[in-house]
A and B are shown apart, each in its own frame.
Chain A
Amino acid sequence: METSVGVGLGEIAVSQNCEEILVAFGLGSCVGIGAYDPVKGIAGLLHAVLPEPLNGSDLSSTKYVGNGINKLFEEMISKGAVKERLIIRIAGGANMLTSPGLSKTFDIGTRNIAMTLKVLETQRMKIVSQNVGGSTGRTFRIYVADGKMTIRMIGEKETVF
């Protein structure tokens, strides 16, 4: 029987249990980074909140894209995954406010995406697919059994991406 494992703000989940589905519910400006090692059957999901810390913030927090991605890979590798084999997909980074005068103020989604792309490029990790941007929230699921990754927007069906 399948079990959903919620991945909250700034959290990471790594699983090798075929019956688990890792889920980041309602990603708005947040970005979800999913990774899967098809040989070992290890899946990981990061729910990153902000692109980078300001001076004085907790640098070790996985709510930041850069540190979160590093920790995600570390946890997966510690369970036996091989970094070069990881299939990576990203989703989220919406600009939730489209009202004139407010949009630019809340460009966190765009900045989260840009930072994710930059960090992954620096680590020479290729993104297989992405469903990012826009102005709508998404729920991001990874099925540990086969590494399938899906998104669902409000009023829409779950789709593989």
Chain B
Amino acid sequence: MTELRSIFTDEFVNLLTKISKEGIENASKGFAGMLGKELTVKSSTAKLVKLLDIPKMLGGPEDETVAIYLKTEGGIAGQMMLVMPCEKAFGLVDMIMGEPIGTTTVLGKMEKSALQELGNITGTYFLNYVSDNTGRSVRPTPPAVMVDMCAAILDIVIATAGIENEEVLMLDAEFVQGDLCTEIQFWVIPDPQTILAYGAK
């Protein structure tokens, strides 16, 4: 089995970082358009992460966390996830629905639907950029919204990517809108086979 690390040269990391950075900038436009607010993107990086270290990257393992999850299919297969503490998700729902901040206190069907739409738009904007710049077709699955313990949510990434590798490539960024949207992480985890296909070129 070829390991990701063997193709992870500085040049390859720089290329991935550039594509992810610009793709995430594009995603932030979709995000901002839906919220009707200006957004900035902070700390966009591409890095190899040890699978078993992923749960340590967010807060406490039992913290109540909200994730909007999409899989990507086609020429670039992988996973995308917007991860945030529950309180931030409530604030986002209020912004999307045009309600005063503090209105949403639970995530019912309608609130989850609003977050799904946010995931859909953000993911699509990101993928459109990546597709345009790589010449590969890529499409997102319908998003799923999860509310659970942080560690339990991250099991999805670990179980899916970890079948084949001990490490995964993770592109991450943070969206910032004033004080409200900090701590919303945008993760992209391409499938190892996709990375290996790119790295072999």
Contacts and interface: CB of A to CB of B under 8 A. Distances in A.
Contacts of B87: none
Given A25-B151, A26-B150, A97-B144, A56 B51 contact: no
B33 interface: no
A50 B124 CA distance: 30
Contacts of B148: 26, 28, 96, 136-137, 154
Given A102-B71, A106-B156, A27 B141 contact: no
Contact of B162 (A28, A49, A137, A155): A49
Contacts of B64: 154-155
Contacts of B163: 50, 54
Main secondary structure of the interface of B (DSSP, over half): mixed
B158 interface: yes
Interface in A67-103: 94, 96-102
Interface residues of A, number: 35
A9 B152 contact: no
A139 B160 contact: no
Nearest to A56: B1
Given A137-B152, A137-B155, A26 B62 contact: yes
22 contacts: A9-B55, A9-B158, A25-B149, A26-B61, A26-B148, A26-B154, A30-B155, A54-B163, A54-B164, A57-B1, A96-B156, A97-B144, A99-B141, A102-B71, A102-B141, A102-B142, A106-B160, A108-B159, A136-B148, A137-B148, A152-B62, A154-B149
Interface of A: 8-10, 25-30, 49-50, 54-58, 63, 94, 96-102, 105-106, 108, 136-139, 152, 154-155
